[in-house]
Amino acid sequence: MPRTPTGCYAFISHRLIRAALGDDPPRDVRWITPVADMRCAEIGSGGGYYTAALAARLGAGGLLVALDPAAHDPRARRGTGPGATTVHVAGDGCALPFASASLDALLYSYSLEEMPDPRAALAEAERVLRPGGQLVLFLWRPLTRRRRLASALALGAEDNGFALFRSHRGLQNLRLAYRKR
Ligand SMILES: C[S@@+](CC[C@H](N)C(=O)[O-])C[C@H]1O[C@@H](n2cnc3c(N)ncnc32)[C@H](O)[C@@H]1O
């Protein structure tokens, strides 16, 4: 369950972080490479900051599952629009409600750090992605112990069945894109 109320996340996501990081959803979702009839999940979708842009990126015919423990909150449903069919699901990134090898891509934007067990979350990512599937992680630069752990695990994903194909270290954040081997 979330450690901070959704309203607080929405404020952080939509005002402070975005001003500081220069996040831009239409630009940032290009870290995901669309494939036909793509099945994608956004894990820790929160207030939907990336959801609409990601659905547009996947295109019609795609399916986007926006998963968050707080998906029951109406604020988490903002950001639906044209493009892939978008389904909002309440769930836990550490125990994903998807069959093994059933998804083409996963996006975690500043959410891996928030999960109670980021190691279990990455193991779940490896389980539900098909071979060649994309794992895209946006992380804050590690200033706290919990963030350092998540970043170290994310950077170590190459040892756990993933191959890094793109990365960027910004002033405040880290972006990583892997393919499942
Ligand atoms: C900083 S917010 C980022 C939200 C959104 N991705 C964005 O970029 O605006 C972190 C999100 O992680 C979610 N979260 C926390 N624990 C989680 C878990 N166990 N499984 C899935 N999401 C989780 C929170 O509910 C929150 O929406």
Going from the N-terminus, what domains does the chain have, and what CATH number goes with each?
6-180 (3.40.50.150)
Please, what is the average pLDDT of the chain? Answer: 86
Q: Whose CA is nearest to atom 17 of ligand 1?
A: 115
Pocket-testing residue among 65, 110, 111, ligand 1, by greatest number of atoms within 8 A of Cβ: 111
Pocket-testing residue among 65, 68, 92, 172, ligand 1, by greatest number of atoms within 8 A of Cβ: 68
Residue 126 phi/psi, 5-degree rounding, is -65, -35
- Cα distances (angstroms) measured from residue 123 to each of 19, 56, 153, 160, 171: 32, 28, 10, 8, 28
Look up the pTM and report it: 0.88
pLDDT exceeds cutoff 90 at 173? no
167: Cβ contacts below 8 Å, ≥ 6 apart: 174, 175, 176, 177
The pLDDT tens digits for 15-26 are 666 766 678 999
CA 48 to ligand 1 centroid distance, Å: 10
153: Cβ contacts below 8 Å, ≥ 6 apart: 112, 118, 119, 122
132: tokens are 């060649």
The pLDDT tens digits for 115-160 are 999 999 999 999 999 999 999 999 987 666 667 777 878 888 777 7
